[in-house]
Amino acid sequence: MPGFADEDELRRYVGSIFEAAMADPETGPKLADTGLVLRMDCTEPDSKLTIDLPGKVVYSGDEGPEPGATMVMSTETANAYWQGKVNLPFAMARGKVKVQGEMSKLLSLAPLSKKLFPIYVENLKADGRDDLVVA
């Protein structure tokens, strides 16, 4: 299963679904109401993304506010996760995803995240990135 080539791809695909969701008049306020600043700290290759849900801004690298919760995983796992192919509790139990920080806020994000999965897959396909689509 493939992952991203670099931090720019993480930003392009994962960051863009959050930007679209935060701009959505229905989903955006719900995301902001979580009060969560989420960091995705990925490996293979090393890359970071910080999603400031209340501020409605996505940052790359070490930029952005201090996260309330951090998800650590490979870019391969991140790619599969945003397609709805990773069960978070199971992945945490197996050590594929490590979570640090405010678990309750992160879990409150889970139902909203599910709405992002089809958009993520559509974006991959629109860019001709069928190599990243998990069957």
How many CB atoms within 10 Å of residue 77? 21
Mean pLDDT of the chain: 93
End-to-end CA separation in angstroms for the chain = 9
pTM: 0.91
pLDDT band of residue 112 (cuts 50, 70, 90) is confident
Mean pLDDT, residues 53-75 taken together: 96
Token readout for 92 is 């945490």
